[in-house]
Every structure is written in structure tokens, then in C-alpha cells.
């Protein structure tokens, strides 16, 4: 268990406990990073939606492993429907934006990377229901890394700017120290009065 940390704003000798940081509560809804999360979710959603729709247009069997390709990637009906569902989920994240889009990008990015490893293990087995080939595995890794980058941008870094809401949430002592050092408002000078 972590030792309590003294907050400079409180009386000396009165320990307080730091709250656990949750990734989804410290970003204001109108923060400029929300646009970045939305764009990332929208681009990846559009790519997956296009792949899934093109796969369904070709009328490939649902669990067919015959080597049908769309855009250089192997596909079948199950993978096409899964791609459409994930693409629509990313579009929902784009519409909602903010912390939801960021967290969704991170979670789906991790899911894509795990999917890449699982399907890599299943490449030459009878359990390869999604008709993955090596190019699909590589796409899964790349899409996962891109989604994680879109989701973690501005949230997870060692060099966040001091006005970043995540930095401020993780360093309340430093924020309080900066606010104490900030100069107060200048007194207003009125003209025409003499002392």
C-alpha cells in the first residue's frame, strides 16, 4: 500500500491520500485533443467499414477459407461482418468524441494486437475461421498500433505540457505551486485622482 502524500495546500502534518487516476475523467469535453481522438476513430472506422462492405459485395462464403482477397487482404463473410461492426463502433466513438473516443481507440487497439497474435498462432490450423493470412496479421498489428496511438496521444507521455489536463491531474502538488507563484491581477489605476 502506498504511503500518503502531503498536499502543500493542506496544513502541514495532515496526510491526505491521492486519488487513483482514471484515464476517462480528466479531459474537458471541449479540449482540443478531442478532435484528434475523433479523427483517429473516424479514419480507422472508415477503413474497416470499406473493407467489410467490399468483402460482403463479393459474396464470399461466411467461413470460407478459399483465399478471396479485398484490398490485398484475405477475407470471408465472418471477417467482413466483424470489420463492419468494429468500423461502426469506431464511428460511434467519433460521434461521441472526448474521453470515450480516446478510451475506445486504446481498447480496440489492444484488441487488434491481441487478434494479430491469436491469428498468427492459428494461421495453418483448421481453427482459422476468419481466413487470416500473414498480410492480415500484419494489418492487425499496424491497425492496433495506430488505434493505440490515436487513443493515447496527449494522455500517456513523459513530456506532457503543463497545461495538459492529464499532467495537471497527475501532478496536483506542482499545479498548486505554480498557482501560488502566478502573479495576481494588476491593480487598476484611475485617472484624474491625485493623492
Q: What is the DSSP letter of 133?
A: -
The dihedral built from the CA positions of residue 121, 122, 123 and 126, taken in this order, carries a sign that is: positive
- pLDDT for 97 equals 81
- pLDDT for 169 equals 73
3-state secondary structure of 74: strand
- pLDDT for 1 equals 45
Mean per-residue pLDDT pooled into runs of 10, the chain (195 residues): 48 54 50 76 90 81 68 82 92 85 90 93 84 88 91 70 70 78 68 62
Residue 14 exposure: Cα atoms within 13 Å on the Cβ side: 6
State the residue for C-alpha cell 482477397. 69
- pLDDT for 144 equals 93
CA dist., res. 154 & res. 23, Å (int): 11
CA dist., res. 116 & res. 35, Å (int): 28
- pLDDT for 88 equals 94
131: left (phi over 0), alpha (psi -120 to 50) or beta: left
Amino acid at each position: 500500500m502506498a504511503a500518503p502524500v502531503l498536499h502543500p495546500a493542506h496544513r502541514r502534518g495532515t496526510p491526505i491520500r491521492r486519488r487513483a487516476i482514471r484515464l476517462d475523467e480528466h479531459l474537458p469535453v471541449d479540449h482540443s485533443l478531442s478532435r484528434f481522438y475523433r479523427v483517429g476513430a473516424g479514419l480507422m472506422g472508415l477503413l474497416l467499414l470499406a473493407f467489410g462492405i467490399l468483402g460482403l459485395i463479393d459474396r464470399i462464403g461466411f467461413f470460407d477459407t478459399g483465399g478471396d482477397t479485398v484490398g490485398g487482404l484475405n477475407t470471408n463473410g465472418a471477417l467482413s461482418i466483424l470489420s463492419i461492426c468494429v468500423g461502426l463502433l469506431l464511428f460511434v466513438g467519433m460521434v461521441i468524441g472526448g474521453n470515450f473516443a480516446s478510451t475506445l481507440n486504446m481498447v480496440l487497439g489492444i484488441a487488434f494486437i491481441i487478434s494479430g497474435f491469436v491469428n498468427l498462432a492459428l494461421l495453418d490450423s483448421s481453427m482459422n475461421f476468419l481466413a487470416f493470412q500473414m498480410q492480415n496479421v500484419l494489418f492487425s498489428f499496424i491497425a492496433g498500433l495506430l488505434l493505440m496511438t490515436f487513443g493515447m496521444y496527449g494522455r500517456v507521455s513523459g513530456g506532457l505540457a503543463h497545461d495538459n489536463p492529464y499532467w495537471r491531474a497527475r501532478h496536483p502538488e506542482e499545479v498548486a505551486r505554480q498557482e501560488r507563484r502566478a502573479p495576481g491581477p494588476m491593480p487598476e489605476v484611475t485617472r484624474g485622482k491625485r493623492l
